[in-house]
Structure 1
Amino acid sequence: MASSNAPDAPHAASGGTPLKEEIRVKKQLLKDRARDLKRIPVPKMQEALQKMAAMLKTCKKAKNSDEAIRAFISRIDTLEQAIFQPILTEYRQATIGLTEGLTMGLHDLFDEVSKAISGNLPKSKLSPFNTVDVRAPLENVTSVMDEALDALTDKGRMKITLARVRSRSSSEVREQLDLCEPGDDIIGGPHDDGDLEPHVNEILKICPRFRILLLGRSGVGKSRLINRVFNIAEAEVSDYRAGSADIEKEFTSPQNSRFILHDSRGFEYGDESKLNDVKSFIRYRTRKGLKESKRLHAIWLCIAVPSGDERLLETGDEEILGMDVGDVPLIVVFTKYDLLITKAEDIADADWEPTNPKCRVSTLAYEEYQRICQQPLQEALMQFRDRPRARCLHRHISVEAHYDNLVLNLIRTTAEQVGTDVRATWAIAQRVDAEMSRDASIEIGRQTLSTTLYFKDKRLEKCLRALHFDTVTAWNFYDPDNCLRSSDVTKLLSAIVAELGDDDACTDPSADPNQALIGGLSQVGHAGMTVFGMSPAATAVLVPLAAVALLARWIFNVYAQMQVITASYTNLHLTDTCSPSSPSVLRCLMAYIIDINFVLWKLFWFMRKKGGVQPLTEVIVNDIMEVFNASEQKRRIHQAVRDFLQTSGPMARLKGDAVLREVVRLIKEFCQESA
Structure 2
Amino acid sequence: MSRAASPISSDPKFLKENIKDATKLLKDRARDFQGIPIPKMQEALKKMAAMLKRCKKDKTNDGAIREFINQINALEREIFQPILKELRNTKLGFTEYLNSELRDLFGDISNTISNNLPKQKLPLFNKVDVQEPLSTVNSSMGNKLQGFMGKGQIILTTVRSRSSGEERKELDLRGDVAGQDFDRDDGLEPHVYEIFRICPRFRILLLGRSGVGKSRLINKIFNITEAEVSHHRAGNANIEKEFTSLENPRFVLHDSRGFEYGNEGQLDEVMTFIRNRTEKGRKESERLHAIWLCITIPTGGERLLETGDEEILKMSRGDVPLIVVFTKYDRLITDAEEKVDADWEPNNPTCRVSELADKEYKKLCVRPLESASNNSESGPSTRHVYQRVSVERGYDSYLLELIRTTAEHVSTGVRAMWAIAQRVDAETSRDASIAIGRQKYWEALSTSVYFKDKRLKNCLWALHVDTVTAWNFFDPHNCLCSQSMMELLSGIIAELNDDNDPGLDVSGNPNQALVSGVSQVGNAGAALFGMSPTTAIVVVPLGVVVLLAQWIHKVYAQTPGIIRCLMGYVLDINFVLWKLFWFMRQKGGVQPVTEEIVRDLLASFNASEQKRWMHHAVKNFLKDAGVLERLRPEVVLGEVIRLIKEFCQESGTLEVN
The answer to whether the superposition gives a TM-score over 0.5 is yes
Q: Structure 2 length normalisation: TM-score?
A: 0.71
Aligned mate of 1:443, from 435, 439, 442: 435
1:247 aligns with 2:224: no
1:178 aligns with 2:171: yes
Partner of 2:386: 394
Per the TM alignment, residue 178 of structure 1 is displaced from its structure 2 partner at its CA by 2.7
Distance in 1 (CA, whole Å) between partners of 2:514 and 2:234 is 57
Partner of 2:547: 550
Q: How many equivalent residue pairs? A: 529
Q: Quick check: 1:538–1:629 contact (8 Å CA) kept in 2?
A: no
Distance in 1 (CA, whole Å) between partners of 2:563 and 2:515 is 29
Most deviating of 385-394 and 369-378: 385-394
Partner of 2:479: 483
Per the TM alignment, residue 105 of structure 1 is displaced from its structure 2 partner at its CA by 8.0
Partner of 1:295: 287
Query: Amino acid of the residue matched to residue 636 of structure 1?
Result: W
Query: Amino acid of the residue matched to residue 89 of structure 1?
Result: K
Per the TM alignment, residue 380 of structure 1 is displaced from its structure 2 partner at its CA by 1.8
Per the TM alignment, residue 417 of structure 1 is displaced from its structure 2 partner at its CA by 0.8
Per the TM alignment, residue 637 of structure 1 is displaced from its structure 2 partner at its CA by 0.6
Q: Quick check: 1:207–1:421 contact (8 Å CA) kept in 2?
A: no
Partner of 1:661: 638
1:123-162 pair list within 5 angstroms: 157=148, 161-162=154-155
Distance in 1 (CA, whole Å) between partners of 2:513 and 2:209 is 64
Aligned mate of 1:620, from 572, 576, 597: 597
1:208 aligns with 2:197: no
Per the TM alignment, residue 383 of structure 1 is displaced from its structure 2 partner at its CA by 3.8
Per the TM alignment, residue 400 of structure 1 is displaced from its structure 2 partner at its CA by 0.9
Aligned mate of 1:364, from 346, 350, 356: 356
Distance in 2 (CA, whole Å) between partners of 1:285 and 1:459 is 43
Distance in 1 (CA, whole Å) between partners of 2:178 and 2:157 is 14
Query: Amino acid of the residue matched to residue 173 of structure 2?
Result: C
Aligned mate of 1:649, from 622, 626, 631: 626
Q: Quick check: 1:163–1:191 contact (8 Å CA) kept in 2?
A: no
Q: Quick check: 2:374–2:380 contact (8 Å CA) kept in 1?
A: no
Give me the identity figure in percent: 56
Q: For 1:389-442, what per-residue CA distance to the aligned partner results, in whole angstroms no more than 9, with x for missing partners?
A: 977311111111111111111111110111111110000000011111101111
Distance in 2 (CA, whole Å) between partners of 1:437 and 1:648 is 30
Q: For 1:579-624, what per-residue CA distance to the aligned partner results, in whole angstroms no more than 9, with x for missing partners?
A: xxx3322222211110110000011011111111111111111111
Distance in 2 (CA, whole Å) between partners of 1:266 and 1:26 is 37
The alignment partner of 2:592 has SS state of coil
Partner of 2:606: 629
Distance in 2 (CA, whole Å) between partners of 1:591 and 1:211 is 35
Distance in 1 (CA, whole Å) between partners of 2:260 and 2:515 is 65
Query: Amino acid of the residue matched to residue 305 of structure 2?
Result: L
Query: Amino acid of the residue matched to residue 492 of structure 2?
Result: I
Most deviating of 153-162 and 204-213: 153-162
Query: Amino acid of the residue matched to residue 620 of structure 1?
Result: I
Q: Quick check: 1:301–1:331 contact (8 Å CA) kept in 2?
A: yes
Per the TM alignment, residue 668 of structure 1 is displaced from its structure 2 partner at its CA by 0.3
Aligned mate of 1:466, from 453, 462, 466: 462
The alignment partner of 2:204 has SS state of strand
Which one has the largest radius of gyration?
1
Q: For 1:469-502, what per-residue CA distance to the aligned partner results, in whole angstroms no more than 9, with x for missing partners?
A: 1000000001111110001101101111112234
1:321-340 pair list within 5 angstroms: 321-340=313-332
Q: For 1:479-536, what per-residue CA distance to the aligned partner results, in whole angstroms no more than 9, with x for missing partners?
A: 1111100011011011111122346169xxxxxxxxxxxxxxxxxx99998x865799
The alignment partner of 1:453 has SS state of coil
Most deviating of 587-596 and 448-457: 448-457
Q: Aligned in 2, Cα 1:87/1:544: closer, same or farther, shift over 3 Å?
A: same
Partner of 2:210: 218
1:257-268 pair list within 5 angstroms: 257-268=249-260
Per the TM alignment, residue 456 of structure 1 is displaced from its structure 2 partner at its CA by 2.0
Partner of 2:584: 607
Per the TM alignment, residue 385 of structure 1 is displaced from its structure 2 partner at its CA by 7.0
Distance in 1 (CA, whole Å) between partners of 2:82 and 2:309 is 49
Distance in 2 (CA, whole Å) between partners of 1:553 and 1:666 is 26
The alignment partner of 2:298 has SS state of coil
Partner of 2:450: 454
Q: Quick check: 1:269–1:275 contact (8 Å CA) kept in 2?
A: yes
Q: For 1:353-410, what per-residue CA distance to the aligned partner results, in whole angstroms no more than 9, with x for missing partners?
A: 1000111111111111111111111112224378589773111111111111111111
The alignment partner of 2:423 has SS state of coil
Aligned mate of 2:496, from 494, 497, 500: 500
1:596 aligns with 2:573: yes
**Structure 2: unaligned runs, 5 residues or longer:** 1-18, 22-26, 43-49, 54-74, 105-140, 503-511, 522-534, 653-657
Distance in 1 (CA, whole Å) between partners of 2:513 and 2:99 is 54
Q: For 1:54-98, what per-residue CA distance to the aligned partner results, in whole angstroms no more than 9, with x for missing partners?
A: xxxxxxxxxxxxx9xx9xxxxxxxx9999996456246779x987
Partner of 2:655: none
Query: Amino acid of the residue matched to residue 669 of structure 1?
Result: E
Distance in 2 (CA, whole Å) between partners of 1:411 and 1:369 is 20
1:415 aligns with 2:407: yes
Distance in 2 (CA, whole Å) between partners of 1:629 and 1:538 is 10
Cα RMSD after superposing both structures: 4.3
Distance in 2 (CA, whole Å) between partners of 1:318 and 1:251 is 26
Distance in 1 (CA, whole Å) between partners of 2:317 and 2:459 is 42
Partner of 1:278: 270
Q: Quick check: 2:206–2:253 contact (8 Å CA) kept in 1?
A: yes
Q: Quick check: 2:487–2:545 contact (8 Å CA) kept in 1?
A: yes
Partner of 1:511: none
**Structure 1: unaligned runs, 5 residues or longer:** 1-13, 17-22, 35-43, 47-51, 53-66, 71-78, 110-149, 507-524, 567-581
Per the TM alignment, residue 294 of structure 1 is displaced from its structure 2 partner at its CA by 0.4
Query: Amino acid of the residue matched to residue 471 of structure 2?
Result: W
Q: Quick check: 2:489–2:569 contact (8 Å CA) kept in 1?
A: yes
The alignment partner of 1:281 has SS state of helix
Partner of 1:137: none
Q: For 1:174-209, what per-residue CA distance to the aligned partner results, in whole angstroms no more than 9, with x for missing partners?
A: 996533278x52585687445621011111111100
Per the TM alignment, residue 347 of structure 1 is displaced from its structure 2 partner at its CA by 1.9
Distance in 1 (CA, whole Å) between partners of 2:82 and 2:195 is 25
Distance in 2 (CA, whole Å) between partners of 1:244 and 1:82 is 35
Partner of 1:145: none
Q: Quick check: 2:156–2:170 contact (8 Å CA) kept in 1?
A: yes
Q: Quick check: 1:324–1:390 contact (8 Å CA) kept in 2?
A: no
Distance in 2 (CA, whole Å) between partners of 1:445 and 1:527 is 27
Q: Quick check: 1:598–1:671 contact (8 Å CA) kept in 2?
A: yes
The alignment partner of 1:211 has SS state of strand
The alignment partner of 2:582 has SS state of helix
Partner of 2:532: none
Query: Amino acid of the residue matched to residue 394 of structure 1?
Result: Y
Per the TM alignment, residue 164 of structure 1 is displaced from its structure 2 partner at its CA by 6.9
Q: Quick check: 2:514–2:545 contact (8 Å CA) kept in 1?
A: no
Distance in 2 (CA, whole Å) between partners of 1:315 and 1:168 is 43
Distance in 2 (CA, whole Å) between partners of 1:479 and 1:347 is 46
Distance in 1 (CA, whole Å) between partners of 2:569 and 2:514 is 27
Q: Quick check: 2:491–2:545 contact (8 Å CA) kept in 1?
A: no
Per the TM alignment, residue 647 of structure 1 is displaced from its structure 2 partner at its CA by 1.2
Distance in 2 (CA, whole Å) between partners of 1:645 and 1:294 is 46
Per the TM alignment, residue 155 of structure 1 is displaced from its structure 2 partner at its CA by 13
Q: For 1:530-589, what per-residue CA distance to the aligned partner results, in whole angstroms no more than 9, with x for missing partners?
A: x865799745xx652423652453322xx44x53xx3xxxxxxxxxxxxxxx33222222
Distance in 2 (CA, whole Å) between partners of 1:437 and 1:26 is 40
Distance in 2 (CA, whole Å) between partners of 1:585 and 1:84 is 41
Q: Aligned in 2, Cα 1:254/1:87: closer, same or farther, shift over 3 Å?
A: closer
Distance in 1 (CA, whole Å) between partners of 2:496 and 2:250 is 36
Per the TM alignment, residue 653 of structure 1 is displaced from its structure 2 partner at its CA by 1.0
